Amino acid sequence: MRFRSSRGGWVPPPAPQLVLPGRELIGPGEWPSIFGREAPLIVEIGFGKDTFLLEQAEAQPERDHVGVERDTHRAALFLKRAAARGLANVRALPVAAEMALGLCFPDASIAELHVYFPDPWPKVRHAKNRLVQPWFARESRRVLAPGGVVYMATDDEPYRDQMLDVMSAGGFVNLMADGWQEQAPLGHETKFERLWRRRGRGIHHMLFRDRATTGAGAPALSATTASG
Ligand SMILES: C[S@@+](CC[C@H](N)C(=O)[O-])C[C@H]1O[C@@H](n2cnc3c(N)ncnc32)[C@H](O)[C@@H]1O
């Protein structure tokens, strides 16, 4: 993506930025002024060292992309990669998901939410640290725009079942015909997905939509039709 300068020539787009609550983000409704336009918002939580969101941003310049990652080194790497690709429609929000979903987005503002391979916290006494809990479903429902969707994946079967239960109890419909599928509906395999596949672990991709905005009888999606 390239921009016309005030003198008529072409200039590189502004470098993608780190957005800090209280500094660049004064209130949850600031995203249009941060991006300089009104566009559908795509948000990924916990991108780690993966490039899924950057590929989405490159393929869909008409949408704006916010990566939430609490590890600031990974957020910096993400922005470096975004700048190398010349992406103006990307920002990093280097905070915990709890703060991002709870405080940094207004109601009905996000078109797609993506969560891939969140830490499984396998020990029973640590399960309370998992990301997908009732608060997550509640805040996701609040921030999703009508018709918005949540993409999720994990290799951990107990966590998969927790995701299915929590999202269903939180008012979401599962759009996967068989509950989950092994292939990523949007085609990208994340860094952790590749790692777990190499180790022979099963992969579970899920896709949810708010029950209140899903028409009765809406078709279940399959690997070939789930394109967001
Ligand atoms: C297992 S890695 C998965 C990375 C990537 N999604 C992938 O599939 O390759 C989980 C990532 O989520 C981040 N993370 C964990 N809990 C988080 C939270 N509450 N808020 C934001 N990021 C979180 C971690 O820092 C880590 O980078």
For residue 227, is pLDDT > 70?
no
How remote is the CA of residue 69 from the centroid of ligand 1, in Å? 6
Strands (E), 71-158: 90-93, 110-116, 144-154
How remote is the CA of residue 49 from the centroid of ligand 1, in Å? 9
Residue nearest to atom 24 of ligand 1 (CA): 46
145-182 residue pLDDT tens:
999 999 999 999 999 999 999 999 999 999 998 999 99
Average pLDDT over residues 64-73: 98
Evaluate: CB of 68 within 6 angstroms of ligand 1.
yes
* Position in ligand 1 atom list of the atom nearest CA 153: 8
Evaluate: CB of 197 within 6 angstroms of ligand 1.
no
99-134 residue pLDDT tens:
999 999 999 999 999 999 999 998 989 989 999 999
pLDDT-derived band at 218 (thresholds 50, 70, 90) equals very low
- Give the residue with greater pLDDT, 217 vs 66: 66
Evaluate: CB of 176 within 6 angstroms of ligand 1.
no
For residue 2, is pLDDT > 60?
no
Average pLDDT, the chain: 90
Write down the pLDDT at residue 79.
97
- Look up residue 6 and give its amino acid: S
Residue located via tokens 């300068």: 5
Element (H, E) at 65: strand 64-68
Predicted TM-score (pTM) of the model is 0.90
Are the C-beta atoms of 205 and 184 separated by less than 8 Å? yes
* Position in ligand 1 atom list of the atom nearest CA 193: 8
If we measure between CA atoms, which residue out of 191, 164, 169 comes closest to residue 179?
Answer: 164
For residue 223, is pLDDT > 70?
no
In DSSP terms, 150 is beta-bridged to: 113, 208
Distance separating alpha carbons of residues 183 and 20, to the nearest angstrom = 34
Q: Provide the total of helices (H) and of strands (E) in the chain, helices listed first.
A: 7, 10
Q: Domains, the chain, ranges and CATH?
A: 16-213 (3.40.50.150)
In the set 71, 119, 155, 178, the catalytic residue is: 119
> Rounded to the nearest 5 degrees, what angle is found at the Cα of 170, between the Cα atoms of 19 and 129?
60
Q: Is 108 exposed, middle or buried (0-12, 13-18, 19+ CB in 10 A)?
A: middle
161 an active-site residue?
A: no
Write down the pLDDT at residue 132.
98
pLDDT-derived band at 5 (thresholds 50, 70, 90) equals low
For residue 22, is pLDDT > 60?
yes
Write down the pLDDT at residue 170.
97
Evaluate: CB of 78 within 6 angstroms of ligand 1.
no
Are the C-beta atoms of 152 and 163 separated by less than 8 Å? yes
How remote is the CA of residue 71 from the centroid of ligand 1, in Å? 8
Distance separating alpha carbons of residues 2 and 87, to the nearest angstrom = 9
For residue 141, is pLDDT > 70?
yes
- Give the residue with greater pLDDT, 109 vs 11: 109
Write down the pLDDT at residue 228.
33
